Amino acid sequence: MSVRRNRYLQLDVFARTAGGGNPVGVVIGADGWSDAAMQRLAAWTELVETTFVLEPDSPEADYRLRLFTPSREIAFAAHPSLGSARAVLETGFRKARDSRLVQQCDVGLITIRLHEDDGDEALFLRAPDASVRERGFDAHPLLAEALGDRAPGRLAPALMDGGRRWWVAELADERSLRDWHPDHDAIRRLAEATDSMGLCAFARCGNPDFELAVRALAGGAGITEDPASGAANGLVAAWLREAEPDGPLARGYRVSQGREIGRDARLVLRIERDGIWVGGRAFTVIDGHVSWSDTAHG
């Protein structure tokens, strides 16, 4: 039996303080791990995602990242990518070049930038390019059931595709969003019928700390609600840029997410000429080592 011992960090991503965001586990230097060993560890941690940092294949990349849910490998997700970038920097696996890291994963090369945010270092990821697959309240027969009795906002719903696929829908106001008790079975049916993650609902806010409140109802991923979803927020930003290119949010905004499930995540969206950047802080909560065998029950 071969047992591998690697540096392991568990981080909280998009948190204002540790405990308020979305966790990810990161194994550093996982070259030589088998696919089966990675999947077994991801199932054992029971985190939404566990990632594995490896040497890159591409000369343009600083590292390669593989991402696993408890049940399968996925091509890309934003909060695990940002948490992994923080782990790469903190462990010294790689240093930033011109305040940037380049991550290689199954959707290609992802650029991650370092910025100051109220005195703390925040990480920003360039979201994959997105496209509108469907739009309108009649875009799918299951959409109305998923939205239930919620009054709509000014924009129609849309099915957005970019790294992940999400339905995005604006609700009338922040209270309508936060007080909502969604029909998770209806959202799961919509997700399964459209090969999507689920429904990301958002509302505009008059709060001085954030301009949008978001709830990511991820029935397609087997969970009811994601406390902080960078991919979903990137697609909301893409829809706002498409539908309101001259609107008040066209250059970026701040997001509150997760309060309905006991978190208090804060994301920052920057809409720039070169794309949409999703960012926030990431805190290391656990820093140690993982010992893991190559074979099950070894």
Among 110, 120, 90, CA closest to 17? 120
Rounded Cα distance between 111 and 106, Å, is: 14
Per residue in 10-33, pLDDT (tens digit) is 999 999 888 999 999 999 999 999
- The stretch 103-125 carries a mean pLDDT of 88
Name the H helices within 119-206: 143-147, 174-178, 184-194
Among 38, 42, 41, CA closest to 70? 42
Rounded Cα distance between 242 and 201, Å, is: 17
Global pTM value? 0.93
How much is the CA Rg of the chain, to the nearest whole Å? Answer: 19
Do 197 and 230 contact (CB within 8 A), yes or no? no
Candidates 3.20.20.70, 3.10.310.10, 3.40.50.970, 3.40.50.620; CATH matching 131-273:
3.10.310.10
Domain boundaries, the chain: 3-127+281-293, 131-273
3-127+281-293 and 131-273 share one fold: yes
Per residue in 207-243, pLDDT (tens digit) is 999 999 999 999 998 889 999 999 999 999 999 999 9
Is CATH 3.40.50.300 what the domain over 3-127+281-293 is classified as, yes or no? no
**pLDDT score for 94:** 98
